[in-house]
């Protein structure tokens, strides 16, 4: 590596460089090592190390000469990877969703990092029953003394930390909550709420059925996307909470399909 190349590599911090790589991967069908090196003014060796790290985080899949974003391949990123994506927006969504909590009573909280932000924002002094299939959410809820925690059983998916399968669905069939908070990987006016995995789709469908009111929490990058499995029409959703990055015209289309749309 030349001295000039070493100086150029200091122009962006690693996390800034990773953000730029991911943005390009989302916008295009793939990214090339040589093009990234030229665009970011670093060596190809640095780009290869970046791509290897992002692949370990579940955000990219390396291919010959470059990489493809997981959303292009239909892969689900890991929980750790999703925590890093749109973190500020998810935090705002969680705070906005807190205003939709019932005054006591019961709620259901889906797995996923956006729903997890609601759990982080639960008032510590609110007596409430919370049903969840999320290992991450349950570990936080167990620390709240006023929460009556009910954990849904089932097989735990390692990608999402969610309980799925017949045990989970059977448990959901026997309960009814005041508000069900669910997440989605894709949302469109035409196809409603979608997710890549069939087992999770079946659980989410049962969650929607278990709620008197249904609130979907999803950041703007999920809007206009479709995944393999549909689990709810928008007409079944009472409120959709997203962030200010959601396009106003698309928000109007989503509202016309059924739910109140909140842009936090």
- Which has the closest alpha carbon to 199: 161, 174, 163, 235? 163
CB 153 within 8 A of CB 168: yes
Write the CA distances from 117 to 17, 32, 153, 173, integer angstroms: 26, 35, 22, 26
Separation between Cα atoms, residue 148 and residue 96, nearest integer Å = 22
- Judgement on whether residues 26 and 65 belong to the same structural domain of the protein: yes
Which residues, listed in sequence order, are joined to residue 260 by a DSSP beta bridge?
239
DSSP states of 155-178 as a string? EEPTTT-BEESHHHHHHHHT--EE
- Judgement on whether residues 122 and 37 belong to the same structural domain of the protein: no
- Which has the closest alpha carbon to 130: 164, 100, 104, 99? 104
pLDDT value at position 27?
76
CB 128 within 8 A of CB 104: yes
For 238-250, the pLDDT digits (tens) are 999 999 999 999 9
CATH number at residue 35: 1.10.10.10
Separation between Cα atoms, residue 226 and residue 181, nearest integer Å = 20
- Judgement on whether residues 59 and 125 belong to the same structural domain of the protein: no
In this predicted model, which residue has the larger pLDDT, 57 or 66?
66
- Judgement on whether residues 235 and 217 belong to the same structural domain of the protein: yes
Chain centroid to Cα 156, Å, comes to 17
Separation between Cα atoms, residue 107 and residue 47, nearest integer Å = 45
Separation between Cα atoms, residue 25 and residue 68, nearest integer Å = 6
Write the CA distances from 59 to 22, 54, 237, integer angstroms: 8, 5, 29
- Judgement on whether residues 119 and 30 belong to the same structural domain of the protein: no
- Judgement on whether residues 62 and 107 belong to the same structural domain of the protein: no
Instruction: Name the phi and psi angles at 132, rounded to 5.
Output: -150, 155
- Judgement on whether residues 98 and 54 belong to the same structural domain of the protein: no
Q: Where are the alpha helices (DSSP H) in 121-261?
A: 135-141, 166-173, 198-210, 248-256
Q: Which domain holds residue 22?
A: 3-73
Query: Does residue 53 register a pLDDT over 60?
Result: yes
pTM for the structure as a whole:
0.72
Give the total number of structural domains in the chain.
2
For 9-30, the pLDDT digits (tens) are 447 888 889 888 988 887 777 8
Separation between Cα atoms, residue 177 and residue 168, nearest integer Å = 15
Query: Does residue 178 register a pLDDT over 50?
Result: yes
Give the pLDDT band of residue 72 (cuts 50, 70, 90): low
CATH number at residue 161: 3.40.50.1360
Region 36-55: mean pLDDT is: 92
pLDDT value at position 133?
98
In this predicted model, which residue has the larger pLDDT, 86 or 249?
249
């Amino acid at each position: 590596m030349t001295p000039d190349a070493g100086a150029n590599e200091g122009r962006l911090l690693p996390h800034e460089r990773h953000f730029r790589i991911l943005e390009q991967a989302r916008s295009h069908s793939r990214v090339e090592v040589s093009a990234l090196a030229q665009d970011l003014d670093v060596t190809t060796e640095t780009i290869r190390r970046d791509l290897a790290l992002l692949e370990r985080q579940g955000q990219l899949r390396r291919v010959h000469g470059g990489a493809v974003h997981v959303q292009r391949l239909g892969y689900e990123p890991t929980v750790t990877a999703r925590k890093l994506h749109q973190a500020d927006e998810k935090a705002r969504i969680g705070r906005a969703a807190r205003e939709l909590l019932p005054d006591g009573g019961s709620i259901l909280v889906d797995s996923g990092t956006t729903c997890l932000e609601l759990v982080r924002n639960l008032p510590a002094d609110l007596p409430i029953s919370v049903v969840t299939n999320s290992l991450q959410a349950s570990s936080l809820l167990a620390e709240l003394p006023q929460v009556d925690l009910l954990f849904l059983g089932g097989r735990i998916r390692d990608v999402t930390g969610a309980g799925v399968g017949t045990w989970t669905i059977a448990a959901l069939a026997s309960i009814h909550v005041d508000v069900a908070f669910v997440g989605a990987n894709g949302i469109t006016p035409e196809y409603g709420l979608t997710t890549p995995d069939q087992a999770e789709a079946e659980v989410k469908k049962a969650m929607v059925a278990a709620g008197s009111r249904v609130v979907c929490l999803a950041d703007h990058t999920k809007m206009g996307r479709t995944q393999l499995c549909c689990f709810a029409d928008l007409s079944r959703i009472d409120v959709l909470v997203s962030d200010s990055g959601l396009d106003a015209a698309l928000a109007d289309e989503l509202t016309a399909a059924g739910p109140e749309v909140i842009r936090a």
